[in-house]
């Protein structure tokens, strides 16, 4: 019994993540947040409506997501632009 209590004391005294780790976790969280917002904004209004989200609510909805939900990826890939569009974009750049 005493060893169990000693284990709990060691866990409570464990150091908090350092500045670098917290900074990196924050950057990763912000990146996932922006990525999810962009993925939802890329959807058409009908698909958003089927999900129960209005376009104006996207940021608020994503703000309510936890880390697991922010890590979700769509099952279907977005269609990639065809070769003609790619070459036109390169010329425009």
pLDDT value at position 70?
Answer: 87
CA atoms within 13 A on the CB side of 19: 0
More confident residue, 33 or 4: 33
Cβ contact 48:54 at 8 Å: yes
Sole residue written with tokens 């904004």: 41
Q: What is the spatial distance between Cα 38 and Cα 59, in angstroms, rounded to a whole number?
A: 10
For the chain, domain boundaries: 16-72
- pTM equals 0.59
Segment 11-41, tens digit of pLDDT: 556 567 798 999 999 999 999 999 999 989 9
At 71 the pLDDT is 86
- pLDDT given for residue 12 in this prediction: 55
């Amino acid at each position: 019994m005493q060893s169990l209590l000693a284990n709990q004391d060691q866990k409570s005294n464990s150091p908090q993540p350092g500045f670098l780790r917290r900074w990196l976790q924050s950057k990763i969280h912000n990146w996932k947040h922006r990525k999810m917002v962009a993925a939802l904004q890329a959807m058409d209004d009908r698909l958003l409506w089927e999900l129960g989200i209005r376009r104006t609510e996207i940021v608020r909805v994503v703000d309510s997501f936890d880390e697991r939900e922010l890590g979700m990826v769509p099952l279907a890939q977005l269609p990639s632009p065809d070769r003609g569009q790619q070459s036109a974009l390169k010329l425009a750049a």
